[in-house]
Amino acid sequence: MSGRGSGASIRGQVMLRLDPQALGELVAGRRVAMVSGTNGKTTTTHFLAAAVRQALGPDTGRLVHNADGANLHGGIASALGEAPHADLAILETDERVVADLVRLGRPEVLVLLNFSRDQLDRNHEIKGLGRSWREALATAGHDGPVVVANAAEPLIVWAVGTAREVVWVDTAATWTQDAALCPQCGAPLLREQPEQAADGTHTAGGHWRCSRCDLAQPTATYRVVGDTIVLPDASVVTPALNVPGGFNVSNAACALAAADLLGIDPETALAGMRTVSAPAGRFGTATISGSRARLLLAKNPAGWAEALPLATSGTVVLAIDSAAADGRDVSWLWDVEYEQLAGRSVVATGPRAADLAVRLTYAGVEHRTVPDLAEALRDHPEPVDVVATYTPFQRLRKLGGL
């Protein structure tokens, strides 16, 4: 009614204030698959939900999915409350909520994607989050979920060391700046050089191992190789997704592994995933202030490293804020390689546009600073790519009707 959002989070917050046990009651008795990680969880959850819908056919009333990305306790309770009779729940879950849902919901499948610095004022040390996952899986024991885990992420590998069963996915990840030390013993990690194709693109990630203890990258049954996915039977599929970026091939590989655990064959699962084009507005295109804009979400250095190469328009708009949902600490700006935008037309916008402008100046990137989002998108003659943190991204979605 206030026009401040979808109402999903506040509805769940009120519900949990009235009945603190509501989340446990709402999740009980359902088959639950959860997806978590710092980056990619919204898109991966959409992939998995689409695969389930494809398998269910017209009987989609059996499925509940927090499609708007409200992934804290209140948002999940809200989604479950809207579909009390759905027996299948595909839930995007914030990293800090995973342990609680493992305890309350006894999920059948848990997909764990990655760990990187995010919202530094709230998640000071990502190993603390990994430890909470490890302890929750240990406590769940034989009643715990089968975990689909990213073998390329050392902290993920350590965190799932107590799980009853793990399906490993080699996502060929190339972001390593948040994993220099072994999470088990603290010694430096050693990495092989990533494999490269003739055009210089990575076809496989560089495997890692600890220089001191026995922690090392596990052998994966699902592997991302370029724009293809190698399945456990050694067959190769090309996802042919309707969302861009090699990282989404990795997200699809994790969703395929989870779909298989839910009894969905790869052909059916991929047919569903190909229906996903703008999950919760990501990669969506809209007209804003007279300009045609494609919206890319980037919340942290790892996300920006993936998003910036996708911003291929002549003019690129970068939108930054530091509200609670973005993380109030914006020091991460200095870990993003904005230097790659040199020679392009760049507009810095959002409430923290001045901070971004300083970073762009040091990067040698010519830019204009236009703090107002709507004004920054005013009347560009050619389509523009907009890369935004969470809060301006949501406002841009609203301005564009996405």
Question: Of residues 59, 100, 121, 329, which has the active-site annotation?
Answer: 329
In the numeric block, which tokens belong to residue 351? 């409430």
* 254 known ligand binder: no
∠ CA 357-363-365, nearest 5°, is 70
Q: Residues near 262 by Cβ (< 8 Å), separated by ≥ 6?
A: 31, 33, 52, 55, 108, 109
* 182 known ligand binder: yes
* 210 known ligand binder: yes
Output the 3-class SS for the chain: CCCCCCCHHHHHHHHHHHCCCHHHHHHCCCEEEEEECCCCHHHHHHHHHHHHHHHHCCCHHHEEECCCCCCCHHHHHHHHHHCCCCCEEEEECCCCCHHHHHHHHCCCEEEECCCCCCCCCCCCCHHHHHHHHHHHHHHHHHHCCEEEEECCCHHHHHHHHHCCEEEEEECCCCCCCCCCECCCCCCEEEECCCEECCCCCEEECCCEEECCCCCECCCCCEEEECCEEECCCCCEECCCCCCCCHHHHHHHHHHHHHHHHCCCCHHHHHHHHCCCCCHHHCCCEEEECCEEEEEEECCCHHHHHHHHHHCCCCEEEEECCCCCCCCCCCHHHHHCCHHHHCCCEEEEECCCHHHHHHHHHHCCCCEEECCCHHHHCCCCCCCEEEEECHHHHHHHHHHHCC
Check if 329 is active-site.
Answer: yes
Separation CA 368–CA 205 (nearest Å)? 37
With CA atoms as reference, report the closest residue to 346 among 372, 375, 315.
Answer: 315
Active-site residues, by number, are 329
Which residue positions form the known binding site? 182, 185, 210, 213
Which residue positions form the known binding site for Zn(2+)? 182, 185, 210, 213
